[in-house]
Amino acid sequence: MIKLGKSKLLIALIAVFMLFATQANAAVDPSVIEKSANSLVKLGIMHGDENGNLNLGNDITRCEFVALVVRMMGYEETTDVSNMEMPFKDVLQKHWAYKTIKVAFKRGIINGYEDNTFRPNEKVNFAEAQSILLRVLNYGNTLSGKWPDNVMNKSSELGLSKNLNFQANKKLTRGEASVLIYNSLTIDFN
């Protein structure tokens, strides 16, 4: 009888854990994604592929996310990187985002990894994306606490993560990234 009680308790605990784990990576309302993405398209921040498809369900890479942020800020047109060396050994001049990555580095919104790589084609996760946006918003050097909790907490406080309830290491889709960027454009600092 005691074993049966422990089994039921264990099953109940597992069920509760699974409920919270599911909520922590719950899907974003498709209407929120559509509104955010359409707004970014109208602003010239987000572009579709050669067929005009936004591919909102596809994972977004580090370089794609950085390109959105650089466009959002208008940095590509205002930042001269013509005489600047590429700081990352894994971003070759033929890479489509070569200049954009240089611009982002010069503006201090990306750091790369300790081995002098940027890993442009890796998928960006929720905490990394928020960290980039917090740097753009000049919060990058003001965060106290341990990574990624400090980023997640500040992002939540500002409303960057509004409509997004994910774990820090969750890989973002293009649609989810559009919500995050849209949120950064609509923050109320009052």
- Identify the residue with better confidence: 93 or 165: 93
For residue range 142-177, what is the model confidence (pLDDT) as tens digits?
Answer: 899 999 999 999 999 999 999 998 899 999 999 999
For residue range 16-56, what is the model confidence (pLDDT) as tens digits?
Answer: 344 343 334 456 888 999 999 999 999 999 999 899 899 99
What CA–CA distance (Å, rounded) separates 35 from 21? 27
What CA–CA distance (Å, rounded) separates 27 from 113? 30
CA proximity to 168, closest of 148, 141, 140, 143? 148
Residue type, 32: V
Contact 158, 137 (CB under 8 A): yes
User: Is pLDDT at 10 greater than 50 in this prediction?
Assistant: no
Instruction: Output the pLDDT for position 28.
Output: 80
β partners of residue 92: none
Coil, strand or helix: which one is 44?
coil
* Residue in the block written with tokens 């500040």: 154
**Which conformational region is residue 116 in: left (phi greater than 0), alpha (psi within -120 to 50 degrees), or beta?**
left
Instruction: Output the pLDDT for position 15.
Output: 42
What is the band of 2 on the pLDDT scale with cuts at 50, 70, 90? very low
Residue type, 163: N
DSSP state of 160: T
